[in-house]
Structure 1
Amino acid sequence: MFLQEKELKETFWKSYNRKGRALKWQFECPVREGNADLITIESFQQKYQINAFEFKLNDIKKVFLQAEGNLPYCNKSWVVIPAEKKELIENRYINYLKEKKYIGVIVVETGGRYTIVYQPKFKQELRFSQTLLNVCFAEV
C-alpha cells in the first residue's frame, strides 16, 4: 500500500524504466495547465511514441480528467494507480476507457511490479508545444 503519490511514482518509474525504454522523459512536464506528471519519448517497433502518465492514489475521477487533458500531446495517456484499485477500474470505468480509446491504466504493487489493466490504442495526431519539443530535442 502506497502512502504518498511520490512513492507510487518513484516505485513505478524504477520498474518501468529499469532497462532504459524511455529515450527522453520529464516529470511535471508543462504541456498543459497543471502539468503532466510524466512525459516519455520511447521507440517501439521502429516508431517514436510519446506517452503521458498521471499518478493518483485515490481520486480516480480526477486522474481520468488529467489523463484526458494530456491526450492532445501524446500517442497514449496512462493512468497509474495502486494495485488495490484494479477491481474498481474493471467494474466501474471500463466503458469509459473503451469510449476514450487512447487512455490506458497501469496498476502498481508496492514491490514495483506493474500490470497493464487496460491497453490504449495508439493515437496518430499530436499537438506539439514548445515544452514537448524541448523534451524531444534535449541534448541534440
Structure 2
Amino acid sequence: MKISKFVFAMFALSLAFAACKKKPQAGYSLVKMNEPFELKMNQSVKLDAGDVRLTFVGVTEDSRCPEGVNCIQEGQVRVVLDGSADGAGMQKMEFAKKPSDKNLSKTLGKYKIQLMQVSPYPKQNKQIKPEDYVLKVVIRG
C-alpha cells in the first residue's frame, strides 16, 4: 500500500514538473539572454525570459572575399532579421558585417541584438545556397 502511494506521488510530481516547464510558442525555438545561439534562414527564436522574437529573413549581399583569392577589398555580408520586443510591432534590422568586424549590434526595445558571425565563409568557385547560411547571434539586456 505504501509503495503504491509513493509511486502515485512520484507520478504526480513528474506531471507537475512537466507542466511547469516553459514551452516555446509555435514556430519559435527558445534562447537564453547573453548566450550565443545559431539562427538559420527562416528560423525564428524567442527569448525564454523576456518578450523578444527574432527571425532570420535573408541575405541581401555577400561580397566577402572568398578563401584562396586575393581581393582589393574585404567585402561584406548583409543580413536581415525581423525582430520585436516588449509587444511592439515587427522591426527590420539590417546588419552589414565585414570580416574584420568583431560584433555588430542593433537596439531592439530595451535589448541589444548582437551579430557575431555569418557562416559559411565564401570559397572560390562555390556558390552558397540561401538555406546554408547560419548566423551566430546573442541577445543582451
- Asked if Structure 1 and Structure 2 have the same fold, meaning a TM-score greater than 0.5 normalized by the shorter chain, the answer is no
Q: Which has the higher strand share?
A: 2
TM-score using structure 1 length = 0.25
Q: Structure 1 or 2: larger helix share?
A: 1
